[in-house]
Structure 1
Amino acid sequence: MCRGLAALPNTCLESVGKNLIIVMGLQCTDVSVLCCLICVGCTKLMQHVTQVISFYPPPSDGLYAFRAFLVSEFSEENIAFYLACEDYRNTTSAAKLCSKAQRIYNEFIGSEAPREVNIDHETRDITQANVKSPTPTCFDLAQYRIYILMEKDCYPRFLRSSAYRDLVSHLTKKNTKAATKKA
């Protein structure tokens, strides 16, 4: 089992496993294939995209497919904001922290933001106050709200989409070819 999959809670694995079976009619006995498909299709994908590096295929395939799906639904700003917050949190320089915080705020949260994310007024106000004295956690509440929005709304639609079915089909074929070459 890959490190990313082992780190996930059982409820997440059960949910994704059921979604794979229901959505895809998947009948898979190859544990390594199922492991990769679950990692790619897991609702925790965004959190584990940098952690899960020891399995094939790379999780970026799933992230790319999810992002393409969001673009098709005109809601790509959600994943862009989420990933910008992840990058921001890993910033070590205080000078960069301040400039990145202002850029993220202006791009995703401010009243004239070109890629404004859908967060409630209270979260917007808290985040605005946090940006005035930026810390690595100043976007945590807004990021959490967007994560929940994607988890409850966008992601279930993605799991039912042709983009997801195409990804699973592609990964299954790729893995089958690799297994055939080994034999």
Structure 2
Amino acid sequence: MCKGLATLPATCLKSAKDIKHKISFLLQKPEPQAADQKQMKDKTAAAKRVPTTAEVEKWKESFSHVMSSEMGRMVFASFLRSEFSEENMDFWVACEDYKKTAPSKLPTRAKQIYQQYIAADAPNEVNLDAATREETRQNVENACWSCFDEAQKMIVTLMEKDSYRRFLNSKLIQDLCQTQPTAAREKKEKKNCDCAENRQALTGGA
């Protein structure tokens, strides 16, 4: 008879639960008013699982792998939150959503993003140099899909050169890496158990 998770040390189970809790913590932050409902559902689904070994290893290879992964962005955003710099990821997401905005809504949405992240004393002001900030202000006056491109590139560079390096050495990543062998053992034990039960069924029926 397979005991499954009951055979695992309590510390391993606690570690996995801690990781899930850290990722789920992202959902506690209110979404912007213009947030896409599908994005919220995707985040909810992603927060219910622990990243796989392959995913974590990919994130360690390059920052682009982090940003191209929904789970990667969530985990990285969790790290940014611990450093009180989550506005960088929020701005990046806002820019990506903005590129999908209907033409008739571009001016209004552009002003919202500018006031939220770029204007002086903005609630979630990102770190831009004066030239890029002024260029973006002028772009917003004639809103188009590319008006935040330069500002977005600068924030991506900032995250990659600064936060990403600390992310790789963070306790969050270390915890994820330490949790992976447990997940692998669970999968292997389940597979072995299934095989044993199948053999038992065959021999019992012979």
Question: Taking structure 2 as the reference length, what is the TM-score of the superposition?
Answer: 0.62
Instruction: Point out 4+ residue stretches in structure 1 off by more than 4 angstroms.
Output: none
Change (3 A) 1:167 1:114: same
Gaps in structure 1 of 5+ consecutive residues: 1-32, 50-58
More helix by share: 2
Please state if 1:48 is matched with 2:63.
no
Please state if 1:108 is matched with 2:117.
yes
Please state if 1:74 is matched with 2:106.
no
Would you say the 8 A contact 2:56–2:176 is kept in 1?
Answer: no
Change (3 A) 1:149 1:172: farther
Would you say the 8 A contact 2:59–2:66 is kept in 1?
Answer: no
Would you say the 8 A contact 2:53–2:180 is kept in 1?
Answer: no
Partner in structure 2 of residue 152 of structure 1: 161
Partner in structure 2 of residue 35 of structure 1: 54
Q: Which secondary structure does the structure 2 equivalent of 1:154 belong to?
A: helix
Gaps in structure 2 of 5+ consecutive residues: 1-51, 193-206
Which of the pair has the greater relative contact order for Cα pairs under 8 Å at 6+ separation? 2
Which structure has the larger Rg? 2
CA distance in 2, matches of 1:67, 1:43: 13
1:46: Cα distance to partner?
A: 5.1
Change (3 A) 1:182 1:90: farther
CA distance in 2, matches of 1:171, 1:90: 36
Q: Which secondary structure does the structure 2 equivalent of 1:134 belong to?
A: coil
Partner in structure 2 of residue 89 of structure 1: 99
1:89: Cα distance to partner?
A: 1.3
Change (3 A) 1:96 1:109: same
Measured against aligned partners, the alpha-carbon deviations of 1:32-78 in whole angstroms (never above 9, x if no partner) come to: x65322334430145412xxxxxxxxx41x32221121111111111
Q: Which secondary structure does the structure 2 equivalent of 1:74 belong to?
A: coil
Change (3 A) 1:141 1:177: same
1:164: Cα distance to partner?
A: 1.3
What are the residue-to-residue correspondences of 1:122-161 with 2, within 5 Å?
Answer: 122-161=131-170
Question: Taking structure 1 as the reference length, what is the TM-score of the superposition?
Answer: 0.69
Would you say the 8 A contact 2:53–2:177 is kept in 1?
Answer: no
Change (3 A) 1:36 1:69: closer
Change (3 A) 1:179 1:143: farther
Would you say the 8 A contact 1:67–1:76 is kept in 2?
Answer: yes
CA distance in 2, matches of 1:180, 1:37: 22
After superposition, the CA RMSD in angstroms is 1.9
Please state if 1:167 is matched with 2:192.
no
Q: Alignment identity in percent? A: 39
